[in-house]
Amino acid sequence: MPLSAAPDLTDTPLLQLSGIVKQYPGTLANDHVDLTIAPGEIHALLGENGAGKSTLVKIIYGVVKPNAGDIFWRGEKIEIASPNAARALGIGMVFQHFSLFEGLTVAENLALGMNEQRTRKQLRDEIAAIGARYGLQLDPSHNLADLSLGERQRIEIVRCLMQSPKLLIMDEPTSVLTPQEVDKLFETLRKLAAQGCSVLYISHKLNEIRALCEKATVMRHGRVVAHCDPRQETTTRLAEMMIGEMLTAPRPRLGLSPTALPCLEIDRLTIASDRKFGVDLKGVSFAVAKGQILGIAGVAGNGQTELMDALSGEVPSGKPSAVMIEGIEAGHMAPAERRALGACFVPEERNGHAAVPGMTLSDNALLSGYVRKALSKLGFINRPKTTNFAAEVIKRFDVRTTGPMSEARSLSGGNLQKFVVGREVLQDPKLLVVSQPTWGVDAGAAAAIHDALVQLAEADTAIVVISQDLDEIFSLCDSIAVIAGGVLSPVTRIADTTISDVGLLMGAAGGATETDASYRRNDAA
Amino acid sequence: MIVLLTNIMLSVIVTSTPLLLAATGELVVEKAGVLNLGVEGMMLVGAICGFAVALKTGSPTIGVLGGMIGGALFSLLFSVLALSFLAAQVPAGLVLTIFGSGLSALIGAAYVGISIERLPHLAIPGLSDIPIIGPILFGEDILVYISFVAVVGVSLVLRYTHVGLVLRAVGDSADAGHALGYDVIGIRYLATLFGGAMAGLAGAYMSLAYNTSWSENMTAGRGWIALALVVFSTWRPFWLIAGAYLFGSIMYMSFFLQGFGIAIPSQFVSALPYIATVVVLVIISSNKARIRMSAPACLGKPFHATS
């Protein structure tokens, strides 16, 4: 494999890390890591979950202090003591788990990430200027709690851009964007690079890295295992460098039997959202047959959250007949009753919604599994059975953890996602509704999750996948519907549609990607 | 009649002021994500410190400062337990209340039965002599004015300054605040210190203006009412004024009714402020969306920097 070229003597690197070591209790997160980023370079940092990428960028951003190693900024040896110091140098970062404040407005969130203070007027003008320049529109007065994930990420990016950074670190930035938004983001990043700003781009989407980045550093188990030019490599080659073994091709789907009986029927589901800038569901109807995988695509914040709440029963729907599970009216039922009918759910947010971060994996297994796996009797928890169930999930889904007694929060994003998906899959559901199943998850974990969903469908389970990742929907699902502004398009077979058709439907509600904010206001009025 | 009306209003103001002072302090503490249930204890410590200092120096005004410092120092005990050693905040606050009532009784044993000069009323020649309005608007003691200034000040700082924004941010997501490089623990220490000083001030008001003597447990649950007031206001400073004066009126009414010998069991009348507290809290918290929108998201959760 081509190693990185000998250092260009005429050009001092912007940032150089040498021999970085970070030891956590029980794990060596970074083991003598070297990394060199030239000015104006878009540099990819590749690696599976737990490979040490996040630790490394936290060290660069001054959040974590390394145990050993040197950091050189424009050739000078420095120490980055805090994020403030990093920002003062010109380092900006977009976090994977956004560092945003739910209770504050967009403008306040932006003000908090900056070293120099600005007046409200200055702030508003700058937000508007950056919005116009990079196509990242934001309404500064919105409350964060009312925004979708995609919109929240926009805030993080704008926050960095407002400080005219010299190095922009992006941790899994495209997971919540539509193809059009991704293109726009890449345009922004290329524009930045052309102006001399370097970008450190962390992602597991290898196609994106090949399209965007000119250098890549591959990490595995805390070590740098390769440097390469991603444009010269194939996706498979990159994936193998990252995982350290050969990838098996995804299993092909067997055809769907046309006589399959419907398992989930939604009939004119209409729910007014109780969120402040939420999206009302308007007459949503669809049916999913046994063994069918239905993908629901859409731009973030178009009613997906509300639909998920309505399907899981967290927000009961008005009429019992609006939701039929296995032919039984379930619209009025709470989640546990729906689970008893054979339905399982994986909500979008793994930390705090799908799993309780402060509880052990065993306790988390109990929380959703007690109905279908009979983990408690007469109100008493069957501890051995619960722990066995958690251990089985860990084993079958290759969750990297110390065991069922470790806390959910100690798992990396991809591992926790494997756990929460696995927990539902192993309950042998008749219906599985899963939202954003591979958000912020690396290629290996995503493949494992997709594989599990396909196997489940072969076993005659009806599956609904709500996702913003069109590649995922197109490779995984039999049919697709698009949600826009709380209205669901008719269901079409994947074979009968194309990505660009779907893209048009996603923008159907008044070009939601462009003028998201104004569209929402019209909708509320 | 005019005299009676003026007296009622003056009494209501005197009853409400300690509630307003203590609640303003606690609001700031909670906005930073810290739930300090030790208000009652800090008030008692403030009351006895204020009283003792006033007696020793002969100046009730210096006594007020003594009360503030006493309350603030006492709140450090909570901060060390809950912020540095990561003890759960609720029991740490209860420790403060229980320990504070004992400690104040211990210090105060030597002062029982002694009476001192009241905190002076403002006297602006001419203005303070106008009937009704004069004594109410221009003839109060300094702490009444301070209580209003504190509310306005806290509201402005929280809403319009960077310090206030950082404080709210830390209360909303300590992890995000830490990731952006803010000193979460330091900010929470300062907020708790402010809350302690305000509770101490409220306590000093009890022993230097509301009464002019010390007696054991003289705050009689006002610290708890102040805590309830913060929820009542849904963490908005100006609503504290409405709440404090509502509860102050109900408290005063219970004395007033007893004085008139109205045929309601006196136990019921004395329980009235606490019953009102429960009723109001139930009504407020029935609106879940409102609580969710306004409560600091990290309220009461310990924070530990993982790096």
Categorize the per-residue pLDDT at A249 as very low, low, confident or very high, splitting at 50, 70 and 90.
low
Between B12 and B132, the higher pLDDT residue: B12
Q: Which domains does chain A have, with CATH numbers?
A: 15-243 (3.40.50.300), 262-351+430-524 (3.40.50.300)
Q: How wide is the angle at C-alpha B44 spanned by C-alphas B42 and B49, nearest 5°?
A: 95
Q: Is the pLDDT reported for residue A262 higher than 80?
A: yes
Closest CA–CA distance from residue B170 to any residue of chain A (Å): 9
Categorize the per-residue pLDDT at A517 as very low, low, confident or very high, splitting at 50, 70 and 90.
very low
User: B180 and A276 in contact by Cβ < 8 A?
Assistant: no
Residues from chain B that touch A99, judged by Cβ atoms under 8 A, are 173, 175-176, 179-180
Categorize the per-residue pLDDT at B44 as very low, low, confident or very high, splitting at 50, 70 and 90.
very high
Structural domains of chain B, count: 1
In whole numbers, what is the pLDDT of chain A averaged over residues?
Answer: 82
In whole numbers, what is the pLDDT of chain B averaged over residues?
Answer: 89
Residue B304 domain flag: no
**Residue A495 DSSP one-character state:** G
Contact between B46 and B187 (Cβ < 8 Å): no
Both tokens of B292, joined, read: 């969710």
User: Is residue A524 less than 8 Å (CB to CB) from chain B?
Assistant: no
Residue of A87, A103, A276 lying closest to B172 (CB–CB): A103
Q: Is A73 helix (H, G, I), strand (E, B) or coil?
A: strand
Q: Is the pLDDT reported for residue A14 higher than 80?
A: yes
Residues from chain A that touch B297, judged by Cβ atoms under 8 A, are 102-103
Q: Which of A462, A450, A506 is nearest to A483 (CA)?
A: A506
- What pLDDT, on a 0 to 100 scale, did the predictor assign at position A519? 34
Residue B120 domain flag: no
Domain that holds residue B166: 2-114+140-294
Q: Is the pLDDT reported for residue A474 higher than 70?
A: yes
Which of A328-342, A471-485, B201-215 is most confident?
A: B201-215
Q: Is the pLDDT reported for residue A164 higher than 70?
A: yes
Q: Which helix (H) or strand (E) holds B290?
A: helix B288-294
Q: Which of A46, A15, A59 is nearest to A216 (CA)?
A: A46
Residue B225 domain flag: yes
Q: Which of A436, A444, A473 is nearest to A175 (CA)?
A: A436
- What pLDDT, on a 0 to 100 scale, did the predictor assign at position A516? 39
User: B181 and A84 in contact by Cβ < 8 A?
Assistant: yes
Contact between A326 and A344 (Cβ < 8 Å): no
pLDDT tens digits along B106-149: 999 999 999 998 888 877 777 777 777 777 777 788 999 999 99
- Using a 10 angstrom Cβ sphere, with 0-12 exposed, 13-18 middle and 19 or more buried, the burial of residue A387 is buried
User: B169 and A87 in contact by Cβ < 8 A?
Assistant: no
Mean pLDDT over residues B240-245, rounded? Answer: 94
Per-residue burial over B185-214, b if 16 or more Cβ lie within 10 Å, else e, is bebbbbbbbbbbbbbbbbbbbbbbbbbbeb
Closest residue in B to A156 (Cα) is B180
DSSP codes, A323-379: EEETTEE-TT--HHHHHHTTEEEE-S-TBTTTB-TTSBHHHHHHHHHTTTTT-EETT
Q: Give CA–CA dist A356/A171, Å, rounded.
A: 24
- What pLDDT, on a 0 to 100 scale, did the predictor assign at position A245? 65
Q: Is the pLDDT reported for residue B21 higher than 80?
A: yes
Closest CA–CA distance from residue B256 to any residue of chain A (Å): 43
Residue B39 domain flag: yes
Closest CA–CA distance from residue A383 to any residue of chain B (Å): 27
Q: Is the pLDDT reported for residue A225 higher than 60?
A: yes
Lowest mean pLDDT among A22-36, A102-116, A140-154: A140-154
Strand positions, DSSP E, A467-515: 479-484, 487-488, 492-493
Task: Name the percent of chain B lying above pLDDT 70.
Answer: 97
Closest CA–CA distance from residue B243 to any residue of chain A (Å): 23
Residue B256 domain flag: yes
Mean pLDDT over residues A310-322, rounded? Answer: 86
Q: Is the pLDDT reported for residue A509 higher than 60?
A: no
pLDDT tens digits along B52-106: 999 999 999 999 999 999 999 999 999 999 999 999 999 999 999 999 999 999 9
Categorize the per-residue pLDDT at A248 as very low, low, confident or very high, splitting at 50, 70 and 90.
low
* Half-sphere CA count of A247, side-chain side, radius 13 A: 20
pLDDT tens digits along A288-307: 998 899 999 887 778 888 89
Between A316 and B169, the higher pLDDT residue: B169
User: A112 and B180 in contact by Cβ < 8 A?
Assistant: yes
- What pLDDT, on a 0 to 100 scale, did the predictor assign at position A246? 60
Closest residue in A to B162 (Cα) is A117
Categorize the per-residue pLDDT at A96 as very low, low, confident or very high, splitting at 50, 70 and 90.
low
Contact between A250 and A447 (Cβ < 8 Å): yes
- What pLDDT, on a 0 to 100 scale, did the predictor assign at position B19? 96
Residue B146 domain flag: yes
CA distance readout (Å), A70 to A14, A33, A59, A86: 14, 10, 11, 15
3-state SS record for A102-139: CCCEHHHHHHHCCCCCCCHHHHHHHHHHHHHHHCCCCC
Categorize the per-residue pLDDT at B284 as very low, low, confident or very high, splitting at 50, 70 and 90.
confident
Phi-psi region of A67 (alpha: psi -120 to 50; beta: other; left: phi over 0): alpha
Residue B55 domain flag: yes
Mean pLDDT over residues B163-192, rounded? Answer: 91
Q: Is the pLDDT reported for residue A508 higher than 70?
A: no
Closest residue in A to B179 (Cα) is A63
Q: Which of B141, B123, B137, B138 is nearest to B212 (CA)?
A: B141
Closest CA–CA distance from residue B192 to any residue of chain A (Å): 21
CA distance readout (Å), A397 to A354, A403, A445: 16, 13, 9
User: A108 and B169 in contact by Cβ < 8 A?
Assistant: yes
Residue partners of B26: CB distance under 8 A and separation at least 6 = B36, B39, B195, B198, B199, B226, B227, B230
Q: What residues in chain B have their Cβ under 8 A from chain A's Cβ atoms?
A: 162, 165-166, 168-169, 171-173, 175-182, 289, 293-294, 296-297, 307
Task: Name the percent of chain A lying above pLDDT 70.
Answer: 87
Q: Give CA–CA dist A116/B189, Å, rounded.
A: 24
Residues from chain B that touch A152, judged by Cβ atoms under 8 A, are none
Residue of B171, B289, B307 lying closest to A63 (CB–CB): B307
Q: Give CA–CA dist A325/A319, Å, rounded.
A: 14
pTM, rounded to two decimals: 0.72
- What pLDDT, on a 0 to 100 scale, did the predictor assign at position A358? 86
User: B172 and A276 in contact by Cβ < 8 A?
Assistant: no
Categorize the per-residue pLDDT at A3 as very low, low, confident or very high, splitting at 50, 70 and 90.
very low
**Phi, psi dihedral angles at A126 (to 5 degrees):** -65, -40
DSSP codes, A370-433: TTTTT-EETTEE-HHHHHHHHHHHHHHTT--SS-TTSBGGGS-HHHHHHHHHHHHHTT--SEEE
Residues from chain A that touch B296, judged by Cβ atoms under 8 A, are 103
Residues 127-146 of chain A whose Cβ lies under 8 A from any Cβ of chain B: 143, 145
Q: Is the pLDDT reported for residue A146 higher than 80?
A: no
Residue type, B306: T
Contact between A262 and A288 (Cβ < 8 Å): yes
- What pLDDT, on a 0 to 100 scale, did the predictor assign at position A17? 92
Lowest mean pLDDT among A121-135, A240-254, A340-354: A240-254
Q: Which of A402, A400, A434, A431 is nearest to A414 (CA)?
A: A400
Residue B126 domain flag: no
- What pLDDT, on a 0 to 100 scale, did the predictor assign at position A175? 62
- Label the pairing between strands A68-73 and A15-24: antiparallel
Which of A4-13, A402-411, B9-18 is most confident?
A: B9-18
User: A113 and B180 in contact by Cβ < 8 A?
Assistant: yes
- What pLDDT, on a 0 to 100 scale, did the predictor assign at position B292? 67
- What pLDDT, on a 0 to 100 scale, did the predictor assign at position A409? 84
Q: What is the CATH number of the domain that holds B189?
A: 1.10.3470
Residues 270-299 of chain A whose Cβ lies under 8 A from any Cβ of chain B: 274, 276
ipTM: 0.78
CA distance readout (Å), A193 to A4, A15, A229, A307: 19, 15, 17, 39
Interface test with B, best of A101, A156, A160 (most B CBs within 10 A): A101
Residue partners of B140: CB distance under 8 A and separation at least 6 = B10, B13, B121, B122
Task: Name the percent of chain B lying above pLDDT 90.
Answer: 60
Closest CA–CA distance from residue B289 to any residue of chain A (Å): 8
Categorize the per-residue pLDDT at B256 as very low, low, confident or very high, splitting at 50, 70 and 90.
confident
Residues from chain A that touch B172, judged by Cβ atoms under 8 A, are 101-104
- What pLDDT, on a 0 to 100 scale, did the predictor assign at position A1? 40
How many other CB atoms sit within 10 Å of the CB of residue B89?
A: 22
Categorize the per-residue pLDDT at A415 as very low, low, confident or very high, splitting at 50, 70 and 90.
confident
Closest residue in B to A88 (Cα) is B181
Residue partners of B228: CB distance under 8 A and separation at least 6 = B277, B280, B281
Categorize the per-residue pLDDT at A8 as very low, low, confident or very high, splitting at 50, 70 and 90.
very low
- What pLDDT, on a 0 to 100 scale, did the predictor assign at position A276? 56
Q: Give CA–CA dist A322/A170, Å, rounded.
A: 42
